[in-house]
Chain A
Amino acid sequence: MKSLLTSTAIAATLALGAGTAQAEGNLSIYHWFEYMPQTLLDKFTAETGIIVTMDTYDSNEAMLASLKAGGMGTYDVAVPGDYMVSIMIGEGLLDTVADGELKNKGNIAPEWADPSFDPGWSHSIPYQWGSTSFMVDTAAFDGNIDTTDILFNPPAELSGRINMLDSQGEVLAMAALHLGIPQCSQDREQLKALDAMLQEAKGHWASFNSDTAKEVLVSGDVAVGQIYDGFGAKARADRASLKYAFPTQGYVAWMDNVVLLEDAPNRDSAIAFMDFLLEPENIAAVSNYARYGSGLAGVGPFLDPELASLPESNPPASAGPGVFIEVCDEATQAVYDRIWTNLKK
């Protein structure tokens, strides 16, 4: 399914490129699936007269691959996650937003003023942020779920009923938290322990699936599943016994950001769009739809009141730290790639 989505996206890319209908007043967005309310795009078009086209992807890596395989110069903006922003800056895929170009930049919340992945927001703006942890069906297990043992060393009643995300970054970051080791460890003993622990844990897992992460939980195919918090809220709406865990060892935090792509065919439209999303009322519409937090101040009055008390986005005091996925250097990454291949061979 992933590849199908990607190839659709690539086909769409080619079609767009061939059309070259890049007159003034167009905007071409490359975005995650199920993440942008159509009504908001319609509002943008109504306000600015800019006609929006959007293609979707289902993982940061798929987006990067498609951009590197000829997608550059087709899209104006994309929405990579935190670590992918630093990778894209490193690869020279992002254009710089000059100071003063975005008149609403002051709306960014103070705690997000200077993110590690793009210091000073010189290529991006915040879109949504949240966490990646896991959900447990409390009808199948009523013990303590706020521990990474649920995933990596599960109690007997959950063994064989666990879905992991089919995503190297999220699985290995969670595993690092479980063992209490750095995400880009160069310590051989730690890496060997990580490899061994994952081999052992795999025996307890039913599947690796990202696209159906919510569906397998709702349908009861599995009793535990790694999932993003907003997706988790939607899953709970369909199956009330699902509970989102905040392990004491920590959980993965993420932030998706709208970036200005190098060689954007409609740079002015892109800047207008970024400014549009920096208005609290507009980004709140995204939060209301996607159930994630925005990085702006002053969104409160526009938010669904229910969001403030959402258990998926309000970690309890016992929760460990939320950590971003780290970007390892090439040699270290090679070892992690081998661990991942070992896991899935």
Chain B
Amino acid sequence: MAGGAASGGSTQGDTYKEARNWLLLPAWVTLSILVLLPVLLMLVYSFLTKEFRGGVIWEFSLGAYDQFFFDRGLFGDEPPKLEWTYITIFWRSIWQAGLATILSLLIGFPTAYYIATRSEKVRPLWVFLITIPYWVNLLIRTVSMRFMLREEGPINNALVWSGLADSPIQMINTNFAVQIGLFYSYLPFMVLPIYAAVERYNFSLSEAASDLYASKWTTLRRIVLPSVRPGVVAGCILVFVPSMGAFLAPDLLGGAKNFMIGSLIEEQFKGNAGNWPFGAAASMILLSLVLIILTLYARQQARANKAGA
């Protein structure tokens, strides 16, 4: 009798599993077509031979990766050295994206915390205000930022008028302008996930902490931050990853004088000579970097969960 009940239970479980597989199908199909297939295509292209002026020849080649890592001089016939050009470009992008993430976190966390601690009535209004700029195309927002930062723009006019600066400060076409652009573009991606996490946070824990004589700073550090960490991490990833691939801010605000990863890859597909395998290889290297960071985070997270349990 007991065995029968158990087997009945497992049949039910199988049905559920079967249904679940079918229900997951749309997600899998979408992911395969929109994510896996393009990435695979890129992976294949990165190992093909480049065709002059864009396109590929279907012959296996490591040329693209060779070009990324080895410098053979201006004429391509010197003994190979380590190629710093592309590493520098990647490093510049990582640095800019990292700084934008930190700035967004510094401004975004207090903002999110503030919104989440308002009364339930006004919270949606604040969230609405944060998302309003997103109704305007990124290109237009970036161009507007150009107008703000230019030599004869409102910021410089205000600085000179108030006497804070003697003459207009060169802001446009600098790394500073790129940083402002990235920070401004992606700040809401930091605010929203943190807000969602803080909103779920049980504030009686903070009260309990202060009842036990924890200072406000200790409460924030030991109680609030660990509780809302998933939101903070999600925000950091959402800001860091698109900042790495950004090309609008570097092109329009930075003057396109120094390649960032995004513009370097773009140039390979529509530049003067076109080098699709190299563009694909650079994309794969970027993707690998991002995956490594995410994997490290996931493993660390799993370890933390284990320790917590």
Bound pair: A and B? yes
Query: Which residues of A are interface residues toward B (Cβ below 8 A)?
Result: 1-4, 6, 59, 61-62, 64-66, 68, 87, 91, 160, 163, 166-169, 188, 191-192, 195, 202, 205-209, 212, 219-221, 330, 333-342, 344-345
Listed residue (A192, A219, A220) with the most chain B CB atoms within 10 angstroms of its CB: A219
Bound-state Cα–Cα, A300 to B173, Å: 43
Chain B neighbourhood of A169, CB < 8 A = 272
At the interface, yes or no: B289 with Cβ under 8 Å from chain A?
no
Q: From B274, which residue of chain A is reached at the shortest CB distance? A: A65
Within the complex, which residue of B170, B251, B257, B270 is in contact with A205, where a contact is CB–CB below 8 Å? Answer: B257
Listed residue (A65, A330, A339, A340) with the most chain B CB atoms within 10 angstroms of its CB: A65
Q: List 6 extra interface pairs beyond A1-B252, A169-B272, A195-B74, CB under 8 A.
A: A3-B247, A3-B266, A3-B270, A188-B75, A221-B150, A338-B76
At the interface, yes or no: B258 with Cβ under 8 Å from chain A?
yes
Q: Is the CB of B139 within 8 A of A4?
A: yes
Q: Is the CB of A208 within 8 A of B255?
A: yes
Q: Is the CB of B256 within 8 A of A61?
A: no
| Count, A-B residue pairs, CB within 8 A | 103
At the interface, yes or no: B54 with Cβ under 8 Å from chain A?
yes
Chain B neighbourhood of A336, CB < 8 A = 273
Bound-state Cα–Cα, A208 to B248, Å: 13
Bound-state Cα–Cα, A61 to B276, Å: 13
Q: Is the CB of B74 within 8 A of A335?
A: yes
Q: Is the CB of B257 within 8 A of A65?
A: no
Q: Is the CB of A168 within 8 A of B271?
A: yes
Give the contacts of B102-117 with A (CB-CB under 8 A): none
Q: From B170, which residue of chain A is reached at the shortest CB distance? A: A160
At the interface, yes or no: B218 with Cβ under 8 Å from chain A?
no
Q: Is the CB of A335 within 8 A of B75?
A: yes
Query: Which residues of B are interface residues toward A (Cβ below 8 A)?
Result: 52-55, 74-76, 85-86, 88-89, 139, 143, 150-152, 170, 172-173, 247-248, 251-252, 254-259, 266, 269-275
Chain B neighbourhood of A91, CB < 8 A = 53
With known contacts A4-B139, A209-B256, A221-B150, A61–B251 Cβ distance under 8 A: no
Chain B neighbourhood of A206, CB < 8 A = 173, 255
Q: Is the CB of B272 within 8 A of A220?
A: no
Min C-beta distance of A300 to chain B, whole Å:
36
Q: Is the CB of A344 within 8 A of B172?
A: no
With known contacts A4-B139, A345-B258, A65–B272 Cβ distance under 8 A: no
Q: From A339, which residue of chain B is reached at the shortest CB distance? A: B74
Q: From B86, which residue of chain A is reached at the shortest CB distance? A: A345
Q: From B247, which residue of chain A is reached at the shortest CB distance? A: A3
Q: Is the CB of B270 within 8 A of A344?
A: no
Q: Is the CB of A1 within 8 A of B272?
A: no
Min C-beta distance of B268 to chain A, whole Å:
10
Q: Is the CB of A61 within 8 A of B270?
A: yes
Chain B neighbourhood of A202, CB < 8 A = 257
Closest 6 CB pairs of A and B: A207-B255, A168-B272, A208-B256, A65-B270, A345-B85, A62-B270
Chain A neighbourhood of B150, CB < 8 A = 219, 221
Q: From A343, which residue of chain B is reached at the shortest CB distance? A: B257
Min C-beta distance of B48 to chain A, whole Å:
14
Q: Is the CB of B88 within 8 A of A64?
A: no
With known contacts A4-B139, A207-B256, A220-B151, A64–B74 Cβ distance under 8 A: no
Q: From A61, which residue of chain B is reached at the shortest CB distance? A: B270
Chain A neighbourhood of B85, CB < 8 A = 341-342, 345
Q: Is the CB of B274 within 8 A of A345?
A: no
Q: Is the CB of A209 within 8 A of B74?
A: no
Bound-state Cα–Cα, A88 to B162, Å: 57
Listed residue (B139, B172, B255) with the most chain A CB atoms within 10 angstroms of its CB: B255
